[in-house]
Amino acid sequence: MMDGVKLVGTGSALPSRTVTNDDLAQIVDTSDEWIRTRTGIGERHYCTPDETHGQLALCAAQRALGDAGILAQDVGICLVATFTSTNATPSTACLLQRDLGLNEDTLCLDLNAACAGFVYALHVAEQLLLDSPRPYALVVGVDAVSRVLDFTDRSTCVLFGDGAGAAVLRAQADASPLYAAWGSRGDDMSLCAPNEVDGTAVIPRLRMDGRAVFRFATEILPACAKRVLERAGIEASQIDRFVFHQANQRIVDLAVKKLGVDPARCAGNIAHTGNTSAASVAILLDELCRTGALASGERALCVGFGAGLTWAGALLERA
């Protein structure tokens, strides 16, 4: 009988091409000072023509399985959170099933909740494990946002990067549930990627109302974190690490102030990753685990928010 899940492995992957603020200043009217003071971003990573969305997902997944010390055949659920999948179909998750050698009865699907997608997928995986033939779920967040950016729009193109992160959850009787919280507002104007005609091709292009997104994010991030704490019946002081979506350092700083928690427990990585959308929380979670900042038995409160407008929070315990 499953009571909950524990985090047993993490992994991440960033493309080989590093793009600095000075690099972007060569193609759009901006500067390193302008970007850093408004976002906290110093650099981000873009896929080269030889690097693909699927390769990033595969690399992060392999590292997470290795960290968990399990085989591909131990996985019962494979979920991929993304909005930039290379194919409309088949899903990235189905291709991961092939590339990793997962069993054919593994439940594989993609989930699109934009930057909240990875945290959404954690909760979906937890529920699906109730009926899984095996106790492990592989959850991947991956986006190649550089492929949908408008490099004439300095308000958006400086914010985003590409990357992938993955986590392995294990269902077990003595584990706590994720105490997940989530929601959406059905907003298709504040942050979206509508299909646009470019010559003979139809390509999604990211569009954002920065002020509207900032207001939404600074409201919903602390509210979602508080909802998770309420569901868990604990105080913020009992959380070891807060793992917030890395959208903008100013958003995180304001949320931390509203929550009244120690900023040292909310350390991020936006300075060298930028906003990696569905991969953001997963990449940061892996960095915290790899550096020992999130140790065995410690708890992390994860919150993602993004286009939709969507949000999700979950409480993870590291095995």
65 and 100 Cβ atoms separated by less than 8 Å: yes
Among candidate residues 115, 224, 289, 302, the one labeled active-site is 115
Alpha-carbon distance 288 to 261, whole Å?
Answer: 18
Residue 115 annotated among the catalytic residues of the structure? yes
- Give the SS3 label for residue 266: helix
Q: Which two tokens stand for residue 6?
A: 């524990």
Residues 299, 240: contact at Cβ < 8 Å?
A: yes
Active-site annotation holds for 245: yes
Q: How far apart are CA 165 and CA 169, in angstroms?
A: 13
Distance in angstroms (rounded) separating the CA atoms of residues 172 and 176 = 9
Amino acid residing at 197: V
Single out the catalytic residue among 47, 94, 275, 302: 275
Give the Cα separation of 99 and 101 in Å (integer).
6
Within the chain, residue ranges assigned H as helices are 21-25, 32-39, 53-68, 92-100, 117-128, 154-157, 210-232, 249-259, 270-273, 280-290
Let me know if 103 is a catalytic residue.
no
Catalytic-role residue among 59, 245, 248, 289: 245
Active-site residue set: 115, 245, 275
